[in-house]
Structure 1
Amino acid sequence: MNPAMVRALAWAALATTCLAATPAQAQMKAGLWETRVIKQTLNGEDLSAKMGDAQKRMQEAMARMTPEQRKQMEQMMGKQGVQLGSPGTARFCVSAAMAARQEPLPDPDNQCKNEKFVRSGNAVDFEFVCTRPDGTMRGKGRTTFSGDSSRTEMNMSGQRAGKPVNMVMESESRYLGTDCKGLKPIDETLRK
């Protein structure tokens, strides 16, 4: 999968999962969250197993590193606001300011824009568009909150390098607690 597609998909999932709840119902809390992709397809091909395998290989490679190399790699990932969890999961930290805003995250590459963000009860419906030199992708979906967890379903479609592309993703996120364990809040990594 093209790295730009992966970034767009990750941004969309994180942007809507991170700050989609309404303060009156479920709420994104400040602290450590873990997200897991349940289903991911590209033009009908299931990529879930491939993505899980790639993360597992990366974790195995990190396990073979010296303690100094591993620490350096973890610090580099932490500066991006992401930490690998168990296979198939990633962790991110939500700052108190980010939780208070209750807004979607901006795209760090400034190529994806939110077009719709509507809260209703414990759910948020969203739409966005990502415009890059090799094509435009439109996405829409829904994030539903239940207590300290959320579930996001999203569909993206458009053109990449003149070819039609359709991506479908389902993910779950859960709150792990107030201690971010040294991980930099995701909104702080977006500041330039």
Structure 2
Amino acid sequence: MNLRVWGASLLLVASAAPAASPIQPGLWEMTTKIDTISMPGAPPAMAAAMRRPKTIRTCITAEQAAQGPRGIQQADKSCKIGRYDWAGGKYVAEIVCSRPTGTMTTRSTGTYTPTSFNSKSQMSSTGQMKMAMTMTASGRRVGLCKR
């Protein structure tokens, strides 16, 4: 399972807001941290490397922000949004990514504003690389996108 893909999927779930209360477009900085991880048969160094916090910056366009999660999630066609409930600055979300190598399911809960979010997630995968983990993510809008 491509670890960048699951990380991007989590960030997409965590950073998107519904059309009724859109996130602000612009440059967003998002950080993920794996709190617990279980990867049977994997070298201990692999899990240790994955536990290091990771920060990315990404540009969310006005079009993506207006479409909410479905507009942003389009980057990975193997992922489908399941449950997606937003109200009063809180959310619950589920995303399932199905590939020939296995299936990854991520369930997240969190809080959001138009310029920030915080989330907690549980991820499990089946197939070639079985794993389970819990993680936290946070993000904030840091400015305009550079063209």
Residue by residue over 1:54-113, the C-alpha shift from the partner in whole angstroms, topping out at 9 and shown as x without a partner, is: xxxxxxxxxxxxxxxxxxxxxxxxxxxxxxxxxx42111111122222234335342111
The structure-2 alpha-carbon separation of the partners of 1:9 and 1:107, relative to structure 1 and needing over 3 Å to count, comes to: farther
Q: What is the TM-score when the length of structure 1 is the normalising length?
A: 0.62
* SS of corresponding position for 1:160: coil
TM-align CA RMSD: 2.4
Structure 1 segments, 4+ long, off by >6 Å, are: none
* SS of corresponding position for 1:6: helix
1:144 equivalent in alignment to 2:111:
yes
Shift of 1:153: 1.4
The structure-2 alpha-carbon separation of the partners of 1:160 and 1:6, relative to structure 1 and needing over 3 Å to count, comes to: farther
Paired position in structure 2 for 1:95 = 61
1:2-151 map, 5 Å: 2=1, 4-11=2-9, 13-21=10-18, 23-24=20-21, 27-43=22-38, 45=47, 47-49=50-52, 52=53, 88-104=54-70, 105-146=72-113, 148-151=115-118
Is the helix fraction higher in 1 or 2? 1
Structure label with greater radius of gyration: 1
Alignment check: 8 A CA contact 2:116 2:140 kept: yes
Taking the aligned partners of 1:9 and 1:107, their CA distance within structure 2 comes to 15
The structure-2 alpha-carbon separation of the partners of 1:156 and 1:145, relative to structure 1 and needing over 3 Å to count, comes to: same
Count residues in correspondence.
138
Q: What is the TM-score when the length of structure 2 is the normalising length?
A: 0.78
The structure-2 alpha-carbon separation of the partners of 1:147 and 1:96, relative to structure 1 and needing over 3 Å to count, comes to: closer
Percent identity between matched residues is: 26
Residue by residue over 1:138-189, the C-alpha shift from the partner in whole angstroms, topping out at 9 and shown as x without a partner, is: 221113114632112111113131x631022211101112x2123xxxxxxx
Consecutive unaligned residues in structure 2, runs of 5 or more: 40-46
Alignment check: 8 A CA contact 1:137 1:156 kept: yes
